[in-house]
Amino acid sequence: MAIFENEYRVGLSDVGHSNEITNKAILRILENVAGMHSESVGWGLNSIERTNKSWILLGWKVQIISRPIYNEKLIVKTWGRDFNRAVTYRDFEVFDEKENLVIKATSKWTMIDIRTSKLVELTPEITRPYECEKNKIFEQGFDFKIKEPMEKKSFINYKVMRRDIDINKHVHNLYYLDFAYEALPENVYNTNKFNNVEIMYKRQIKLDDNIICYYTQNENENIVTIKSEDDKTLHAIIKLY
């Protein structure tokens, strides 16, 4: 089961005012299919009680070639690749009903022990069922490293609420994108689709944490840096272009 495949139909909550799928919906679909793949090989959400282990997302790179619309059927394919002791990578392809490639993505993951929150070594017992593939969706590769900008144009403050917290008791990875959108200037938010999304997660955010979301523009790139209230801890960097 090297390549896992799932069918998905774009729903009402997946589209924005243009009737096109949103970036958050895309990430949600990819995340869900990744979870289904892990579930099928015994390392998914329903297996946590037995394994005491959970996958943690470290980064995204997503490129939207064309945006599906409401009620469109999609075929999502995903596979694991390049396992080592600490991290693994997962790639995705999304096709429309006419078998056109409309979205491609890659992601970086690690695993923790939910009892201790410590990293777990990715042993053959964990990795072998995935039947790791070698092909990369981005031929030139991608290291998931985004440099923190020295200068910031603007910022917003936010206090983390219950609605932001996931099963691992920290802010769910999708909501980092929400934070980034709130930090964008109005004219930037309203005039861009952001067909390229890159996210680097560095440190988890927990309930009641106060965070600062800094906005920077670098040529055609819009960068949001999420840090702790005291500016000492880097939580994530999101790049939209």
- What would the pLDDT profile of 47-78 be if each residue is shown by its tens digit? 999 999 999 999 999 999 999 999 999 999 99
Name the band, by pLDDT with cuts 50, 70 and 90, for residue 133. Answer: confident
| Total Cβ atoms within 10 A of residue 102 | 19
Condensed to tens digits (0 to 9), the pLDDT of residues 41-54 reads: 999 999 999 999 99
How far is residue 227's CA from residue 203's CA, in Å, rounded to a whole number?
9
Name the band, by pLDDT with cuts 50, 70 and 90, for residue 168. Answer: confident
How far is residue 192's CA from residue 182's CA, in Å, rounded to a whole number?
14
pTM above 0.85, yes or no: yes
DSSP string, 75-105: EEEEEEE---SS-EEEEEEEE-TT--EEEEE
Q: In which residue are the tokens 């990795």 written? A: 127
pLDDT at residue 141, rounded to an integer: 66
